[in-house]
Amino acid sequence: MPISRDRLYSIWRITLVSVNVIVVAALVATAVWIRLENDWAKPVDRGPQDAFRHGTIGTEVMPLPVAYVLPDMFPEHFLPGGADAGDWVEQFGFLRDTDPNANQGLPIGFAITNYRPGTGAPSPVEFVGFSCALCHSTRIRENGDQDGTIYYGPGSMSLNLFAWLDAFQSAVLAREPPAGEIADPAKPPPYRLTLASISKAYETKTGKKLGPFERFFIWVWLRQIRARITEGLPRFDEPVGHGQSRDPRITPTGPTRTQPFRTLVRTVLKRPGNDMPVYTKIATVFSEDMRKRAQFDGTIADLYARSSLAALAAGATITNMALPEIANNIRMASDYTSTLRRRAMTTCSRRRPRSVTQRA
């Protein structure tokens, strides 16, 4: 039976009204989202010293709740020396702040922001990245039994960053043990790191539950970081994990060493760079104003350009380095190294002098 013109007209009217309602709802939702985004990330205008120590350079890695629980969830990767060899901070050579409440309990050089990795888009959930102080600070002891003093400017003498990054990637890609003796390549086991496992570990550790925004952004981050690591496997190979990344036969970029030029080849040119066995010690960055060229080999004259390339090699992107706060952090941190002097390096921790009674 043919549909009457009135019936067709009614259907058309209902469809048109429904589409208009959906469009208006989408516009309202977009406006609300934009309004919320404006409150999520408040740019911080840092001075030179603060930018060097605490300012992000665009290297956000993971949400803060994930950073809290990941070492607990994957001790096989983050405690390669065993539980008796100290926690992950000690085993990978990070520097612990003397104030346990500083930097929300994370090591020196970990920057906490409301920027998402790669894009720098605002986020209601805090993310963990790096500042310049992560690599360019070190602890010096006059005697082995001293706590020592942390100096900013020298390259770290303990940091094993590549091993830590390998542990991180191994955790992201870790899968549940296969149900049978032989895993089916067509149906790999599920990933161990999931929103549910993170939520459970976070509640166990902190006694708090993740909120709706935290759960949503962690879910989005998991999809993005796993896709990015997986996309690079044909060029970079899978992470080895299980402490093997601290073996110099497998990962020659051990403590104090890095391969910045290979990283730039991989990041900018999208090439493996495996034929570039050029290892350098983490650079010292002070008295930069006394150098004619910013780069030690004379290839880069401008200090800001050199620092920007260092940020790019550390994981920043062209997109997020264009954000005013991140761009300012790179410039201000560079200015800090320009006037930082060997004898005037500011300390952030010093062994507390003993009292007369203690000396006796």
Cα–Cα distance for residue pair 54/317, rounded to 1 Å: 19
Spatial CB neighbours of 154, under 8 Å, sequence gap ≥ 6:
136, 137, 138, 284, 286
Spatial CB neighbours of 105, under 8 Å, sequence gap ≥ 6:
68
Strands 149-152 and 137-140: antiparallel
Cα–Cα distance for residue pair 248/104, rounded to 1 Å: 32
Q: What is the pLDDT at residue 285?
A: 86
Residue 120 identity (one-letter amino acid): G
- Residue 236: Cβ within 10 Å count: 14
- Residue 1: Cβ within 10 Å count: 3
Q: From first to last of the 360 residues of the chain, give the pLDDT tens digit.
A: 556 777 777 887 888 888 888 888 888 777 776 666 677 888 899 999 999 999 999 999 999 999 999 999 999 999 999 999 999 999 999 999 877 778 888 999 999 999 999 999 999 999 999 999 999 999 888 777 777 888 999 889 899 998 999 999 999 999 988 766 666 667 888 999 999 999 999 999 999 999 999 999 999 999 999 999 999 888 888 899 998 988 888 877 788 888 777 777 777 777 877 777 667 788 888 888 887 777 766 677 889 998 998 899 888 999 999 999 999 999 999 999 998 987 544 444 444 433 323 333
104 touches 112 (CB < 8 A): yes
Q: What is the DSSP letter of 179?
A: S
233 touches 134 (CB < 8 A): no
pTM (whole model) above 0.85: no
DSSP run (H or E) holding 63: strand 62-63
